[in-house]
Structure 1
Amino acid sequence: MITAIVLIQTAAERLTEAAQEIADLEGVTEVYSCAGDVDLIAILRVGDHEQIADIVPGRINKVPGVLDTDTHIAFRSYSRQDTEAAFSIGMEVD
């Protein structure tokens, strides 16, 4: 599974509609509106890089109100939950 993080700039008047249209795309698992340098952050989880090439320029960039995207592909995931799970393998907790 490949995870991509897409930073998205939108026209202010289309932010809500663009967010929902992007969230409805196959391969997009989450969309966050946020403060800061970008308007939306979309998380993609797909089987291969070709799907990212289809989703970002082929679909997200064509959503009305999307002005710009910046895509980042994740190599590895780190989280407290993953670490705790790794250390608890084989241990019984009563």
Structure 2
Amino acid sequence: MITSIILIKTERTAINKVAEQLAAMDGISEAYSVSGKYDIVAIARVPANEDLADLVTNRLLSIDAIQQTETMLAFQAYSRHDLEAMFALGM
């Protein structure tokens, strides 16, 4: 499982709409509206690097209000929760 954090800048009037579109997208497990330099932080969990490439370079492009993204790959999860087991259900 590939996990990445996608930082997103959007048109100011479209933050909620973009977050809803992201949350409904396969591969995006969560989308948060946030304060700071970026408007939305999305968590992507996909089976393989090719799926992440498709998500970032094809499917995110379909959302016109997205102005800029920065994608970070997660190497290791440090959590009290067993995240891998939670997201492996049904896969």
Q: Which has the larger radius of gyration?
A: 1
Matched positions, count: 82
Amino acid in the other structure paired with 2:72: H
Match of 2:42 in 1: 42
Alignment partners' CA distance in 2, 1:67 and 1:8: 8
What is the identity percentage for the equivalent residue pairs of Structure 1 and Structure 2?
39
TM-score by length of 2: 0.84
1:92 corresponds to which residue? none
Following TM superposition, by how much is the alpha carbon of 1:64 offset from its aligned partner in structure 2, in angstroms?
A: 2.0
Counterparts of 2:7 and 2:60 in 1: how far apart (Å)? Answer: 11
Question: Which runs of no fewer than 5 residues in structure 1 stay unpaired?
Answer: 83-94
Tell whether 2:75 aligns with 1:75: yes
Over 3 Å counting, the alpha-carbon distance change for 1:81 and 1:24 in structure 2 is closer
Q: Once the 2 structures are TM-superposed, how far is the Cα of residue 11 of structure 1 from its aligned partner?
A: 0.3
Runs of 4+ in 1 over 6 A off after TM superposition: none
Q: Which amino acid aligns with 2:61?
A: N
Q: Distance in 2 between matches of 1:39 and 1:25?
A: 18
CA-atom RMSD in angstroms: 1.1
Q: How far apart, in 1, do the equivalents of 2:31 and 2:41 lie?
A: 6
Amino acid of the residue matched to residue 56 of structure 2?
V
Instruction: Work out the CA distance in 2 between the residues paired with 1:70 and 1:49.
Output: 16
**TM-score normalised over the length of structure 1:** 0.82
